[in-house]
Amino acid sequence: METEQAATTDYELHLAEKMRPIRLALRVAENLMAHGVSTRDTVSQALDITETYCKEPVYFDASFNVITASQYRGLYKDPLTLVMKVTYAAPNNMIVQELQQLVRDIAKGMPLDDATARLDKIESSVASYPAWLRTAANAGMATGIVMLYTSSLTNIILTFIAAYTVDSLMRAVGRYRLPPFFIQALAAVTIISCAGLYVGLGQAEIWPFMNVNPTLVTVGGIMMLVAGLSLAATAQDAIDEYYITASARLVKTAMLTVGIIMGVVITLSLLRDVTGLVIHTEYSPPTLSPLTLQIAGAALAGACWAIYTQSSRAAILWAGAVAASAYLLYAALLPAASIALASGVASLAIGFSAAFIARLWKLPSIAIINSAIIVLVPGYMLYRGLMHFVGTSSATMFVNGLMITISAVTIALAISAGAALGTYIGRPFRSHIVRLYKYAPQLMPAPQQLAASRKKLPRMSNPTKKRPASRD
């Protein structure tokens, strides 16, 4: 009996030792997916770990909220299989950056014990920004979007106040574990209520609300809600043929968008029917602010969203720069191309730049992509389309609203596909550049060799002296 117990204990210890690298890979993969990394990149990082520590191959399968790892050990041994649930958390790109650096160190030969201890440290001491800074950054992103359409300081400040209020409310309600659908709807109700309050105060001739544009306040708030829908990751999973995860993310995005629409439509109807307050709606395409202010607004929106998603300082700077550059490209293409085409090309440039920057500066590409594409998301067009459905029985208005809404969805798909395609193109390109950057110094002669070669060179005559006549 004691011999059997000892044999069983030895077998369990042997299995536990075999499971350690698989468990480590699953923990890293779960953290990456929980913070918005695409499924392909998550599986690739997990495979880098198991290929370093495991002799037999390990297969991974991810389906939105579950990750499965299974190691095939031959015909006469049972496979080792682990399943882990993905618990999605608030975006934190600093954790993603630390995890990706951990995977790179593992690939270079870090011992398993050290890797496990380092992962424990990453999970226990989570690097994050204070809540007030994230709230201010989210409101700053909405402010940057409004700067694309107006130079009015009053509209910009009032948009920041409304967005700050909405994010604070969402953070407070989130503590009670309310489903995200209702949080989005409640946030949309708050946005429209703030815009209605501004209109009411303006009608009462209270400074500084007389000249406020409620449409811009609403658009800034809606963009703040739409920005967190992970459009790029959804398109990336679909292109990489992870259809289950892509479908789940698409359904989640659709439900959260429906929550926003429901909150906007219901609140506008209540304001009109109960209080008699009508928010003026601009059905025509918006006028834009001066180009320099648009570029500044794009940079502000990209940098602020990078802060909100808790990115490093380098990622914040790059996000602002890429957002401004992409918007400049979009503005340059717009006179000669459709909005969908210009947005798709600009988002392709974002994905390509993010893939290149992420490899050279060791930053998570999602920190740059998700921050930079915000300025291209058609939040204003979506709001215009919704306004055609509110308070009208005209068939023409309904058809126009439907067409505008479909156009907004088409542009959003073009942005998502462009960013995913840019990342796909940038992956091999960045590998060639990094390889060249890494091995270029080895192709150059050492300083000692240069000094020795200089000594062997014949001494050149002074070019200022007159050369003697050549002999025939």
* Tens digit of each residue's pLDDT (9 = 90 or more) over 165-174: 999 999 999 8
For the segment 282-310, the average pLDDT, to the nearest whole number, is 90
- The percent helix, strand, coil of the chain (3-state, each to 5) is 70, 5, 25
Integer Cα distance of 403 and 401 in angstroms: 5
Residue 209 CA: distances (Å) to CA of 154, 155, 218, 268, 338:
8, 9, 15, 19, 36
Amino acid 465: pLDDT: 41
Look at 328 and 63; give whichever has higher pLDDT: 328
DSSP code for 271 = I
Amino acid 318: pLDDT: 96
What percent of the chain shows pLDDT beyond 70? Answer: 85
Integer Cα distance of 263 and 213 in angstroms: 20
pLDDT band at 193; cut points 50, 70, 90: very high
Q: Are strands 80-85 and 66-71 parallel, antiparallel or unpaired?
A: antiparallel
The distance in angstroms from the start CA to the end CA of the chain is 109
Amino acid 276: pLDDT: 75
Integer Cα distance of 32 and 16 in angstroms: 24
Least confident of 14-18, 159-163, 307-311: 14-18
In this predicted structure, the answer to whether residue 454 has a pLDDT above a threshold of 80 is no
- Report the SS3 class of residue 328: helix
pLDDT band at 288; cut points 50, 70, 90: confident
**DSSP per-residue codes, 273-285:** III--------SP
Least confident of 63-77, 222-236, 293-307, 316-330: 222-236
Look at 223 and 297; give whichever has higher pLDDT: 297
Residue 450: is it exposed, middle or buried by C-beta count within 10 angstroms (0-12/13-18/19+)? exposed
pLDDT band at 184; cut points 50, 70, 90: very high
Can you name the residues that pair with 326 across neighbouring β-strands?
Answer: none
Integer Cα distance of 320 and 322 in angstroms: 6
Which of 212, 220, 151, 227 has the alpha carbon at shortest distance from 191? Answer: 220
In this predicted structure, the answer to whether residue 384 has a pLDDT above a threshold of 50 is yes
Q: Enter the pTM of the model.
A: 0.85
Look at 153 and 441; give whichever has higher pLDDT: 153
Look at 397 and 104; give whichever has higher pLDDT: 104
Amino acid 22: pLDDT: 94
Amino acid 393: pLDDT: 61
> Tokens at residue 190, please?
């708050």
Can you name the residues that pair with 66 across neighbouring β-strands?
Answer: 85
Integer Cα distance of 444 and 359 in angstroms: 23
In this predicted structure, the answer to whether residue 458 has a pLDDT above a threshold of 50 is no
Amino acid 86: pLDDT: 92
If you average pLDDT over every residue of the chain, what do you get?
A: 84
In this predicted structure, the answer to whether residue 415 has a pLDDT above a threshold of 60 is yes
Look at 277 and 338; give whichever has higher pLDDT: 338
Residue 16: is it exposed, middle or buried by C-beta count within 10 angstroms (0-12/13-18/19+)? exposed
Highest mean pLDDT (candidates 104-108, 424-428, 435-439)? 104-108
Integer Cα distance of 25 and 84 in angstroms: 11
> Tokens at residue 58, please?
């390990």
Amino acid 432: pLDDT: 57
Which of 356, 355, 319, 343 has the alpha carbon at shortest distance from 437? Answer: 356
In this predicted structure, the answer to whether residue 177 has a pLDDT above a threshold of 60 is yes
Measured at the CA of 221, the angle between CA 215 and CA 224, to 5 degrees, comes to 140
Instruction: Please name the residues in contact with 418: beta carbons below 8 A apart, sequence gap of 6 or more.
Output: 343, 344, 345, 346, 347, 348, 350, 351
Amino acid 434: pLDDT: 55
In this predicted structure, the answer to whether residue 424 has a pLDDT above a threshold of 80 is yes
> Tokens at residue 131, please?
């809540």
pLDDT band at 402; cut points 50, 70, 90: confident
Amino acid 472: pLDDT: 32
Amino acid 26: pLDDT: 95
Query: Helices (DSSP H) in 288-338: which residue ranges?
Result: 291-308, 313-333
Instruction: Please name the residues in contact with 446: beta carbons below 8 A apart, sequence gap of 6 or more.
Output: none
pLDDT band at 464; cut points 50, 70, 90: very low
Residue 405 CA: distances (Å) to CA of 101, 221, 224, 316, 388:
42, 18, 18, 32, 10
Measured at the CA of 373, the angle between CA 104 and CA 322, to 5 degrees, comes to 65
Residue 376 CA: distances (Å) to CA of 34, 214, 405:
25, 21, 16
CB 135 within 8 A of CB 166: no
pLDDT band at 213; cut points 50, 70, 90: confident
| Torsion 317-323-325-328 (CA) sign | negative
pLDDT band at 140; cut points 50, 70, 90: very high
| 127-160 residues labelled b (16+ CB within 10 A) or e (exposed) | eebeeeebbbbbbbbbbbbbbbbbebebbbebbb
* Tens digit of each residue's pLDDT (9 = 90 or more) over 217-236: 988 998 888 876 677 778 77
DSSP code for 445 = P
In this predicted structure, the answer to whether residue 161 has a pLDDT above a threshold of 50 is yes
Integer Cα distance of 220 and 379 in angstroms: 8
